[in-house]
Amino acid sequence: MTGKLVGSIDQGTSSSRFLVFDVHGKIVASHQIEYQNGFPKPGWVEKCPNELLDSVTGSVNECVASLEKMGYSASDIVSVGITNQRETTVAWDSETGEPLTNAIIWSDTRTRDVVQRLTAKDKDSKIQPICGLPLATYFSAVKMIWMLENIDAVKQARDRGTLRFGNIDAWLIYKLTEKHITDVTNASRTMLMDLSTLKWSDEACKFFGIDKSSLPEIRSSSEVYGEITSGPLKGIPIAGDLGDQQAATVGQLCFSPGEAKNTYGTGCFMLFNTGETPIFSKNGLLTTVAYQLGPNEKPAYALEGSIAVAGSAIQWLRDKLGIISTAPEINILAESVEDNGGVYFVTAFSGLFAPHWRDDARGCIVGLTQYANKGHLARATLESVCFQTKDILDAMNADSGTDLKLLRVDGGMTNSDTAMQIQADILGIKVVRPEMRETTAFGAAIAAGLAVGFWKDKNDIMSQTVSSEFTPQIDDDARAHLLEGWKKAIEKSLNSA
């Protein structure tokens, strides 16, 4: 058996995967390796970069072995794309190629003091119009500052001129190809890139105190960055790079302005394609690069709303409370009750992201009575993600001036029909789930395939078949009652840190 294939490295917050797609966008083979992050102090989330790399190379090795058993060979893979957990920041030494400290994961909040200091410094709010992002613990630049101020090895590497910073994509590309490169979507999450020029901003770098020499070269999301230097994929080019949420946007084929997708993973992220012109939000959303599919192509921009805790709330019920033993059990519990019983769960474990941006918020469960049981808590957990998605959608509608009529969805939580029906009920619009759920990995594959002519252009990529549509089943009054309870719960969560 012979055939042309394209590979996709999907490096996420709790697992790494390697998937191989054919020209029809069908998965031929895949392998996943899960891992645990470290939580050394309250609010801290970190991971050894070499362990992240090992989970990637292990996934590649196992997947290629499976391919070979099917009659393929690694040489059938024409290119590889990378998609990654964004904002997670790595520091390494260019002489040794080794990390200088643990990677700081995107949801980590140890940088609260740094953010408060920078907010006081940026009294005229000059930074957000450059990068499209608010000062928050979420983004890479503040994590870089923390490393420079607290890790001696990072300071010493800076003084030697051997310090290299990057998000996970840059770390993987460096270790796989020996090139220090990132793409515009990942660079747009650092607070250091100028959205208008797609280059590192002199003003932003000076404000944050980050030397541009330590940062990767910014390239488009779809071009050959270099060839893999070792392992079963040796000699195959890495030719696509997108932050995970932008990759899902591409994988959902949201190529037209006005189209939006929501990905339900560890966190939850909604992107709204605004076309070739960035729109700066007046309602607490982020402005970001959606994709640039080739060095000579114009970039597409997006408004984004982020929820820190989505699938990780289900993991919390499983691992910390023991209410469920497997994630799918939450559906059985949630379906055992007719409604939330007046129980609301604000999952602000890492503060509240868009559109609130309150790092003083903390998780809280409100409305408990003796009537409430674990079924109500399970339903309230699913509803929490859906309510926060509604908050983001309202902000997007206000910024864009157009009400979204349909939401494309993907990610682990979308496997739950219960959760998606709740989402449609709370939004009051249709929710559409594609047949092929691996849209994040597919987006990186699309970028890598386009770069080497695997697909001629975006129109050459076959559209995904819709497998499920969820339409609202409650009336406006019932929806308004639920939303009023949610707003009161949000207020309870604030000023708690």
Each residue's pLDDT tens digit, 146-190: 999 999 999 999 999 999 999 999 999 999 999 999 999 999 999
Which distant-in-sequence residues (6+ apart) come within 8 Å of 168 by Cβ? 11, 52, 84, 85, 86, 88, 90, 103
How does the average pLDDT of the chain come out, rounded?
93
Number of Cβ within a 10 Å radius of residue 405: 9
Confidence at 357, pLDDT banded by 50, 70, 90: confident
Length of the chain, in residues = 497
Task: Sort residue 80 into left (φ over 0), alpha (ψ -120 to 50) or beta.
Answer: beta
pLDDT higher than threshold 90 for residue 283: no
pLDDT higher than threshold 50 for residue 2: no
User: pLDDT, tens digit, for every residue of 21-44?
Assistant: 999 889 999 999 999 999 999 889
Which distant-in-sequence residues (6+ apart) come within 8 Å of 54 by Cβ? none
Confidence at 14, pLDDT banded by 50, 70, 90: confident
The pLDDT of 339-356, averaged and rounded, is 90
Euclidean distance between the first and final Cα of the chain, in Å? 59
DSSP code, position 256: S
The pLDDT of 49-71, averaged and rounded, is 96
User: What is the percent of the chain where pLDDT is above 70?
Assistant: 98
CATH code of the domain occupying 5-251: 3.30.420.40
pLDDT at 314: 92
The pLDDT of 288-299, averaged and rounded, is 96
pLDDT at 463: 60
Residue bearing the bigger pLDDT, 436 or 394: 394
Contact 269, 288 (CB under 8 A): no
pLDDT at 464: 54
Number of Cβ within a 10 Å radius of residue 76: 20
User: What is the percent of the chain where pLDDT is above 90?
Assistant: 77
E-state strands within 348-405: 364-366
The pLDDT of 7-34, averaged and rounded, is 94
For the four alpha carbons of 172, 176, 180 and 183, in that order, the dihedral sign comes to: negative
